[in-house]
Chains A and B, each alone.
Chain A
Amino acid sequence: MATAAHADEHHAQHIKLQYQSGLPIPLGKTIVWLFLSTEIMFFAGLIGTYVVLRFGAPTWPQTHEVHLSEPIGAFNTFVLICSSVTIVLALEAARANKARVAKLFMLCTFLLGSTFLGVKSYEYSAKFAHGLYPWSPHSQIHERANLEYGSAVRARLKTLTTQYGDQSKELFDKLSEDQQKQIGELEKQPWSDEVRAQYVAIAPQLAELKSRIQKCNDLTTELKLEDPNVDLVQVTNKIYPPPDESASGLPWTAEPEGLNGEYPWLKLPFVVPGGNMWASTYFLLTGFHALHVFVGLIVFLILMTMELNAARAGMLENTGLYWHFVDLVWIFLFPLLYLF
């Protein structure tokens, strides 16, 4: 018995138990694939929600009504496809132990990713400039041309009048009492040099504020906002006209202008049926995608500080998998958001 036990103990010393990962791939790659599996479900949920909301909505804004440009979206798609190629070429170069070539391709990928984000931020700024925000109080979007909308336009014009009146008063208050008195008594000209200089300094601003107040008052009359039978559809069409798709010229240049375009400081409420839901889904989807692009760019920057030789090929492959997934998401977002 003792001999047998000794033999077992001896045998056990020679057996070294080692746990291996369940998949015949490096652990890092397994983790990246598991992460991507969760990402698939994350974006499937977001895109699925968009599709369900979009096709369940009673109405949805036209692409040009919300300042979406199809060519810009197509350009960004092209940029991401190019970046997918450059990162896969970087991987090939790293596997061939050509570290400098790999780094060059990584730099190209980084620049392409940055271009994508630059274009996206330009698109965002165009939306924000037209009052298309996904949140209050910046959003000027109303769903219906109803009484609530009419009172919102009136309230906005009244707020502007009060605001510009207050600003004029503030400017005037900066002058001394004596100066105010001299300016107020116009018939007592000529003023002293000091008063003249002060007045010259504030006069353009005062004139601008006065013209804006006048414009607000004129619009209240022109749009017949005090009339109980006012046609609010006409009001919103003057403030934010629908794009004329039949207009000559390039289709994407058919951008609505209207009062908000002519006087950007007005920021009057306008009606885009389904616009709030559009803004919520558009900014959520593209925002999360842009966040993923941004994270990818940070990883690229870190990788570019390293020697991208064959030993780092695994790291590069994992980064590439993530980046291709980012490209993959955009492949679906582009037609869904820009062309549907």
Chain B
Amino acid sequence: MSEHSPQSHGPVVEPHDGSLGYDMSAHGAPSGHDVHATGIAKYIYVFIALCLLTSLSFLTYSSWWRANFTPAESRLLMMAVSCTKALLVILCFMHIWWEANWKFILTIPAMLMSIFLILMLVPDVGWRLHHASEEQKFHMAQPKPDQPNPPAREQPSPAPSS
């Protein structure tokens, strides 16, 4: 008969000290609750960083930026800034930085599912426009001929005649 180790899954023997036999500090990193009393300075630094990053995103709106950078470069920068901001919020404000390894159990599957979901949308939604019926194409949006700043995107390729 094998003994139940404190870290084994399923039912465990309740120890007499009432601690559920689960050592919180034995999971690769200290529990978040032990680390938080390090002052609020880190939150202020993160807040300043978030404000600066938002300003950086907003800079792409200025006429100087538009004159010197392409829309693709702007979008790349904005997404990089957004990902950095999201990381800062998740790691610091949501305390993931100080949490134990359990965080990967929940976050990684959710992230993977999200990526798969978006990839699955591409054929469903994105390619739909390339196989539009004649009726759909008749009602489809069309840039105005004298639009001052028409988007640089191309029209969808003509659908094969069905």
Contacts and interface: CB of A to CB of B under 8 A. Distances in A.
B57 A335 contact: yes
Contacts of A15: 13
B144 A271 contact: yes
B53 to A, nearest CB: 9
Interface in B73-102: 74-75, 78-79, 81-82, 85-86, 89-90, 93-95, 99-100, 102
Contacts of B159: none
A126 interface: no
A95 B32 CA distance: 12
A34 B51 contact: no
Nearest to A335: B78
Nearest to B108: A37
Nearest to B20: A20
B153 A58 contact: yes
Interface string A210-250: 00000000000000000000000100110000101110000
B144 A273 contact: yes
Most buried by A among B60, B90, B105, B106: B106
Contact of B94 (A70, A78, A324): A324
Nearest to A244: B148
B126 interface: yes
Interface in B102-147: 102, 105-107, 109-111, 113-115, 117-118, 121-122, 125-129, 139-147
B67 interface: no
B126 A52 contact: yes
Given A37-B110, A51-B118, A59-B151, A81 B54 contact: yes
Interface residues of A, number: 75
- The interface residues of chain B, by DSSP majority, are classed as helix
Contacts of A340: 75, 78
Interface stretch (A83-91, A158-166, A167-175, A259-267): A83-91
Contacts of A70: 58, 61
Contacts of A332: 82, 86
Nearest to A145: B144
A51, A62, A242, A339: residue with the most chain B Cβ atoms closer than 10 Å: A339
B93 A277 contact: no
Contacts of A273: 141-144, 147
A236 B149 CA distance: 17
Contacts of B99: 25
B12 A78 contact: no
A274 interface: yes
Most buried by A among B36, B94, B115, B146: B94
A77 B58 CA distance: 11
A17 interface: yes
17 contacts: A23-B102, A37-B106, A44-B117, A48-B114, A49-B121, A58-B140, A58-B143, A60-B153, A62-B149, A81-B47, A81-B50, A82-B47, A324-B89, A327-B89, A334-B57, A335-B81, A339-B57
Interface of B: 9-14, 20, 22, 24, 27, 31, 33, 36-37, 40, 43-44, 46-47, 50-51, 54, 57-58, 60-61, 63, 74-75, 78-79, 81-82, 85-86, 89-90, 93-95, 99-100, 102, 105-107, 109-111, 113-115, 117-118, 121-122, 125-129, 139-151, 153, 155-156
Given A37-B110, A57-B141, A58-B153, 4 more contacts: A23-B105, A58-B141, A237-B144, A334-B82
